[in-house]
């Protein structure tokens, strides 16, 4: 009944947040990765140079999130969306039309910032801030926008590339998104901003998470999935070789991960509303911990499938749990500030994680050793968060 009530009474606001999450696909790694070769060719970069440039612009986007993300606490969401969409359009034009590689990379950075960064931030903040009784379910529904992009866009883009060039595909997808957003701007039930803009020379009157010990205690727990799953994605060839599996099995398991995200999101959202985010924060990584243990001890095709499905279940539930937990600790009126800080921290860490894992592999470690380190990181992150969770009201 909770999901039915949400869709009946709040479909306008949910539609805006869902559209923001789906539109973020334009700046997500899975979408940009589909066009890595033609983008590299246009910018005159080798695959290695593109990877370095991509990591650099992503880290810069993370710093920009720290500066710009909190504005959603005082800028009206409709105006915030207009500014982000305008910047995203400019980024796409720079990336696809600029004759100079430098401007092209700036365009790529703007697409990353506004796509994966700001639009995801907008969708999650709206769902987390504007709903109280059914916040978990709302976040679960909204997060399916990214799942839709991950499921539908890769095969669709691959099919359309038969008739269109990569630049024309980007323009077409951007035009479709702008058409949908025009309708949302005109008819959408846009809420107001909860706070006021700080005066000139004044700091925003709100939390400063990087200066709070409890934020640092929670951070490893909330970053476990993004960091470790990034390593599994980047080093999939070494993972399957060391576990005695194959890339074909990995590809099928990746589809299983996408399917597992759906029940993870829907059940996770429902349980957040019934049990509270504090209780679930202690439990939601359990499927992934079991998966790491199975992959570490048994390996093989079963290990690869367990990693993808267990990770998918936990990833589907994480956004509902994490955003609801931030609201419970810092309040809905400051969600933009805290979420922007968390997003920036995740960008930094996921940008550095592949480099760290690569160094460990170059030093001679097997991927079983990497998996053991991931499991240890999960356990330490869970242990560090217990003090904050114990002092946070469950309801």
Residues 6+ apart with CB under 8 A from 100: none
If DSSP codes are grouped into helix, strand and coil, which group holds residue 289? Answer: helix
Q: What is the pLDDT of residues 151-178, one digit of tens each?
A: 888 888 888 888 888 899 999 999 999 9
* CATH topology match: 1-195 vs 209-390: yes
Residue that has been written with the tokens 């359309």 in this structure: 160
pTM of the predicted model as reported, rounded to 2 decimal places = 0.83
- Give pLDDT, residue 203: 57
Q: What is the pLDDT of residues 337-394, one digit of tens each?
A: 888 888 888 777 776 777 788 888 888 888 889 999 999 999 999 999 998 888 877 6
User: What CATH number has the domain spanning 1-195?
Assistant: 1.20.1250.20
pLDDT surpasses 60 at 201:
no
Give the separation between CA 27 and CA 47, rounded to whole angstroms. 19
Strands (E), the chain: none
- Residue range 209-390 forms a domain whose CATH class is mainly alpha
Return the domain boundaries, the chain. Answer: 1-195, 209-390
Alpha helices in 69-134 (DSSP H): 77-97, 101-112, 120-130
Q: In whole numbers, what is the pLDDT of the chain averaged over residues?
A: 86
Q: What is the pLDDT of residues 1-58, one digit of tens each?
A: 577 777 887 888 999 999 999 999 888 877 887 787 788 888 887 766 777 788 788 8
Greater model confidence, 191 or 380: 380
Alpha helices in 161-246 (DSSP H): 166-187, 213-234, 236-243
The mean-pLDDT minimum among 114-123, 203-212, 230-239, 250-259 falls in 203-212
| 290 C-beta neighbours (distance < 10 Å), count | 12
Residues 6+ apart with CB under 8 A from 373: 360
Q: What is the pLDDT of residues 250-302, one digit of tens each?
A: 888 888 888 888 888 888 888 888 888 888 999 999 999 999 999 999 988 99
């Amino acid at each position: 009944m909770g999901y039915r009530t949400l869709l009946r009474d709040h479909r306008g606001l949910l539609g805006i947040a869902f559209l923001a999450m789906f539109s973020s696909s334009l700046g997500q790694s899975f979408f940009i990765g589909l066009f890595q070769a033609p983008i590299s060719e246009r910018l005159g970069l080798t695959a290695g140079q593109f990877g370095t440039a991509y990591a650099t612009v992503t880290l810069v986007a993370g710093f920009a999130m720290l500066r710009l993300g909190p504005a959603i606490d005082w800028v009206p969401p409709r105006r915030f969306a207009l500014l982000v969409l305008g910047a995203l359009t400019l980024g796409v034009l720079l990336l696809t039309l600029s004759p100079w590689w430098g401007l092209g990379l700036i365009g790529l950075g703007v697409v990353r910032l506004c796509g994966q960064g700001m639009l995801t931030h907008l969708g999650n903040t709206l769902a987390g801030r504007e709903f109280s009784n059914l916040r978990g379910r709302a976040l679960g529904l909204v997060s399916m926008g990214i799942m839709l992009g991950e499921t539908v866009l890769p095969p669709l883009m691959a099919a359309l590339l038969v008739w269109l060039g990569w630049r024309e595909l980007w323009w077409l997808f951007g035009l479709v998104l702008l058409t949908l957003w025009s309708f949302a701007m005109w008819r959408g039930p846009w809420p107001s901003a909860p706070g006021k803009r700080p005066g000139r020379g004044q700091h925003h009157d709100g939390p400063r998470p990087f200066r709070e010990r409890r934020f640092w205690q929670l951070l490893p727990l909330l970053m476990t999935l993004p960091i470790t799953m990034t390593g599994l994605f980047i080093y999939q060839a070494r993972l399957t070789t060391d576990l005695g599996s194959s890339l074909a099995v990995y590809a099928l398991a990746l589809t299983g991960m996408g399917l597992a995200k759906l029940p993870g999101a829907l059940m996770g959202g429902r349980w957040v509303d019934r049990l509270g985010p504090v209780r679930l924060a202690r439990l939601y990584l359990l499927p992934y911990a079991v998966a790491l243990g199975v992959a570490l001890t048994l390996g093989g095709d079963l290990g690869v499938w367990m990693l993808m499905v267990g990770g998918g279940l936990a990833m589907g539930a994480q956004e509902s749990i994490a955003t609801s937990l931030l609201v419970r600790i810092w309040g809905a009126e400051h969600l933009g500030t805290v979420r922007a800080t968390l997003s920036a921290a995740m960008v930094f860490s996921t940008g550095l994680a592949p480099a760290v894992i690569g160094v460990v592999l170059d030093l001679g470690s097997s991927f079983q050793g990497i998996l053991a380190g991931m499991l240890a990181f999960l356990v330490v992150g869970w242990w560090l968060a217990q003090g904050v969770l114990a002092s946070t009201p469950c309801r």
